[in-house]
């Protein structure tokens, strides 16, 4: 299987400047290639493709030896492929009739990754097994950059990417032939109900706490954003204030990801079959403001609910859970969440009156009472096992 491993870089001051210049030049190449495509289509109705733009790279590098010419040819090809992928996705959305969204030019804060498609071609992962904390990655035009390798990686390194996150730099290794870490079977199955009061409630009655990282940092973020609003655009103090806001958001993101990893790992260790809701999070967190002619209702309440859902990080948790389940050889099943919170887990009676409060479930037909989330998780588990049996019988 294929997995990615992310490590913190420890560049010198000169290497930080070189890494920033590398990003800027690749961003300029991306924007120039995008302008070439748009102009050719607008002026002559001609569609420019990746092969034609890649063929021009040799001349571009020769004309600018101190700029584009100092970086890896293969990394520049990867940047052009990135643009080509964006256009293919655009045309695919056009064909399906969804919102198209033409690829945009990348500003300074919207292009933070450069990829080298092959280890040894413009880059080299220089691992030293005898010194796990003294690992280097060699990048053309930048040199040997020190890597804080906090854990060992597995498999064969295929591609190497460098990513900027605020003031930090990371290297991401995409590795092939990574052995799956199969866990011993437990014979147990569980249903998961996602929520805001608790991140996850299982059909066994376990409540996984929702850390609410954004809510915990809300006061500091509000103060930092007020401070940013008072700074003059283009000033050095404004750049410092922007970096402070970005650092606070990055801390929230890291905490949310860490909590998701720990919760997912506990579930994968304890259960062979995990059933969860197939949630459409983008639709659930859509604004309720409406239009001028048809304004929305309960806009403030919906806005607060949307913020709580996004703070819980359901999408991050489910993505991490899917990766860990695949690696451990566990079975993950997604089911339709409709009516799971209104249906009685004992008699099957479905009515909105069954959900008395947010936390209390009382069936109007048979009188069964339970915690509403545990009742929903039980229904989710049964739906998932039914899908599994149907798939095995087919």
Per-residue pLDDT at 128: 59
Q: Rounded to 10 degrees, what is the CA torsion of 351, 354, 358, 359?
A: -140
348 to 292, 314, 380: CA distances (angstroms): 43, 27, 13
pLDDT average per 10 residues of sequence, the chain (394 residues): 92 96 96 96 92 94 93 96 96 89 91 95 77 78 92 90 93 90 90 94 94 94 96 93 93 94 95 94 80 72 86 93 92 93 92 90 92 94 94 85
Whole-model pTM: value is 0.84
Q: What is the pLDDT of residues 19-56, one digit of tens each?
A: 999 999 999 999 999 999 999 999 999 999 999 999 99
Q: For residue 337, how many other CB atoms are within 10 A of its CB? A: 18
């Amino acid at each position: 299987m294929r997995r990615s491993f992310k490590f913190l870089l420890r560049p010198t001051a000169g290497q930080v400047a070189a890494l920033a210049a590398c990003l800027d030049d690749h961003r300029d190449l991306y924007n120039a290639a995008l302008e070439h495509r748009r102009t050719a289509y607008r002026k002559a109705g001609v569609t420019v493709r990746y092969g034609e733009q890649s063929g021009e790279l040799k001349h571009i590098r020769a004309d600018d030896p101190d700029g584009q010419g100092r970086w890896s040819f293969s990394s520049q090809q990867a940047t052009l492929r990135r643009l080509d992928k964006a256009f293919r996705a655009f045309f695919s959305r056009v064909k399906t009739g969804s919102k198209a969204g033409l690829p945009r030019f990348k500003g300074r804060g919207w292009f933070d990754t450069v990829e080298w498609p092959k280890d040894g071609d413009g880059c080299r992962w220089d691992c030293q097994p005898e010194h796990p904390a003294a690992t280097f990655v060699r990048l053309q035009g930048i040199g040997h950059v020190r890597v804080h390798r906090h854990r060992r990686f597995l498999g064969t390194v295929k591609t190497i990417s460098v990513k900027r996150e605020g003031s930090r730099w990371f290297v991401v290794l995409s590795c092939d032939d990574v052995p799956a870490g199969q866990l011993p079977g437990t014979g147990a199955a569980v249903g998961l109900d996602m929520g805001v009061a608790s991140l996850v409630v299982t059909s066994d009655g376990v409540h996984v706490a929702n850390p609410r990282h954004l809510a915990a940092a809300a006061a500091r973020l509000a103060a930092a954003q007020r401070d940013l609003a008072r700074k003059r655009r283009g000033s050095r103090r404004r750049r410092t204030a922007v970096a402070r806001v970005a650092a606070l958001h990055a801390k929230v993101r890291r905490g949310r990801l860490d909590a998701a990893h720990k919760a997912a790992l506990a579930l994968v260790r304890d259960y062979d079959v995990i059933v969860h809701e197939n949630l459409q999070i983008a639709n659930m967190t859509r604004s309720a403001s409406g239009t001028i002619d048809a304004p929305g209702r309960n806009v403030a309440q919906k806005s607060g609910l949307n913020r709580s859902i996004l703070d819980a990080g359901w999408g991050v948790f489910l993505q991490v859970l899917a990766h860990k389940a695949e690696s451990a050889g566990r079975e993950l099943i997604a089911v339709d969440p409709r009516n799971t919170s209104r249906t009685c887990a004992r008699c099957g009676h479905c009515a909105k009156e069954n959900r008395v409060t947010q936390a209390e479930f009382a069936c109007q037909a048979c009188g069964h009472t339970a915690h509403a989330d545990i009742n929903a998780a039980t229904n989710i588990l049964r739906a998932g096992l039914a899908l599994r049996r149907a798939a095995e019988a087919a």
